Amino acid sequence: MTSDFADLGVPTVLLDVLAADQITVPTPIQAATLPDSLKGRDVLGRGRTGSGKTYAFGLPLVARLIADGTPRRPAPKRPRALVLAPTRELASQIAATVAPLAKAAGLRTTTVFGGVGQGPQVNALRDGVDILIACPGRLEDLIGQRHCSLADVQITVLDEADHMADLGFLPAVRRLLDQTPKGGQRMLFSATLDNAIDVLVKRYLRAPAVHEADSAQSPVAKMDHHVLHVEREQRLPVLLDLVSAPGRTVVFTRTKHGAKALARQLNKNGVPAVDLHGNLSQGARTRNMEAFHSGTATTLVATDIAARGIHVDDVSLVVHADPPAEHKAYLHRSGRTARAGAAGTVITLMTSEQRGDVRALTRAAGITPTTTRIAGSDHPMLQELAPGERTRPGGIDLTPASNGGGNGGGGAAGNGGGRRRSGGKKPAARNSAAAKPAGQGSGRRGGAPSGGAKPAGAKSGGNRNRSRSRGAGAGAASGGGHSAASFSSGRR
């Protein structure tokens, strides 16, 4: 196998960017696809999460735009390359990888997604961009308002195409691809390939070079899978023990309200945690991810919105607090650890009622986990799975600032509505779900990352959401709630 990027044909100007980030050896998906994509062929690439797909399309994207050696200024509102991604977080992370490559080559990039004001996006498009990284919904809106045209797009990339299918984006994706020139290069990358993706391949890719760097169902070699069989009342104590170990942990729940309630419970028990789910504003999502990236929060509690495309270095442990509904979600959730060759551990908490579902899930995912019956939080297996001294430095106080964010919030957070530790020495009782949540609101102070959800009962949910959140919180504390075998309650 080719062992360096220069041999694959990557231009020197981009090699320097890679070298600055100490990236010298191509991953399997990069080594497989780059020779074809750099030549301008359509490419269909499958590689599991964390396999390096962003550079696999980012490098040829930039290289092809500068291939003639005379980069030209893009026309206003008419990008020359388009990358479509299913979520805001993934779009932002693609931009973080591609932007340094583009800058080194003298190209402009911008990112377009919903949940934020469109003014800066409109201005960037009007000034002209070479590479547009976009979520389908907002891009269609801007095209409808005549702020953007895809008539000059030479290269189109679909990232996480299977996830776009899961989220129902395919009609919008087809409408957008229909607006790009038929002769342009197209690259489609996905962790799995199924019938929905086949429709896109047959319609938009011309004799594509197909590369599969691994099996769609094979787990990462350095990823250890475990199932902990626990009684419902032991789920929270066991989870608290695991997330109190050193290192970053991602915990998955099935529903938005379950994620919010569980993050609240962890904070009340002294574990600095943030949540990530569809009920959060873009500002709150960004602040929460910044807190997790920086280490201010050591645990991220998320729904499946975070299962794709969220890259955080050194996530040592993934916990399925609620087993996912299907095996693809399991594989993508689990892919938050053991990234780029690192080792990782995946744990599924299973109650007696869930044994049949979890057995079917792991079989479909192609894994054979180690199953252990755990009677309590003092079981030696917990130390083996998450080694190290247990610490609870204090939960993150994300009391809402005025208007849900900004400086000078006031309220319980004190001056500035900023972030502080709370409850480290004396965590609140686990069943006090109706107490004022610790995991809400936002606010920055001194540049520290801050995050959180809207307070229960805010406009996004009203009183009905307040009652759902309290039910979910109580369920997280006692193992009950609206769903007898789930940390979650309410809608996905």
Strand partners, 320: 252, 348
Residue 55 tokens read as 């550079």
Listed in sequence order, the DSSP H helices in 311-448 are 327-334, 355-365, 380-385
Phi then psi for 175, rounded to 5 degrees? -60, -40
Burial of 3-41, coded b for 16+ CB within 10 Å and e otherwise, reads eebeebebbeebbebbeeeebeebbbbbbbbbbbbbeeb
pLDDT band at 9 (very low <50, low <70, confident <90, very high): very high
Same topology, domains 5-212 and 223-478? Answer is: yes
Phi then psi for 342, rounded to 5 degrees? -75, 160
What's residue 463's pLDDT? 39
CATH of range 223-478; options 3.90.1150.10, 3.40.50.300, 3.90.105.10, 3.40.50.1000: 3.40.50.300
Q: Indicate the class that CATH gives domain 5-212.
A: alpha beta
Q: What is the DSSP string of 414-427?
A: -GGG--EEESSSSP
What's residue 366's pLDDT? 86
What's residue 11's pLDDT? 93
pLDDT band at 69 (very low <50, low <70, confident <90, very high): low
Average model confidence (pLDDT) across the chain? 78
What average pLDDT does this structure show over 244-258? 92
d(CA 153, CA 79): 6
d(CA 308, CA 437): 28
pLDDT band at 50 (very low <50, low <70, confident <90, very high): low
What's residue 90's pLDDT? 86
Domain ranges of the chain: 5-212, 223-478
**Tens-digit pLDDT profile for residues 445-463:** 333 333 333 333 333 333 3
Q: How many angstroms separate the Cα of 38 from the Cα of each of 19, 129, 188, 202? A: 19, 21, 14, 22
Q: How many angstroms separate the Cα of 137 from the Cα of each of 113, 276, 305? A: 7, 20, 16
Distance of CA 487 to the CA centre of its chain: 20
Residue 327 tokens read as 């095996």
Model confidence pTM above 0.75: no
Phi then psi for 44, rounded to 5 degrees? -115, 110
Can you state the percent helix, strand and coil of the chain, rounding each to 5? Answer: 40, 15, 45
| Candidate from 33-37, 186-190, 243-247, 469-473 with smallest mean pLDDT | 469-473
What's residue 88's pLDDT? 86
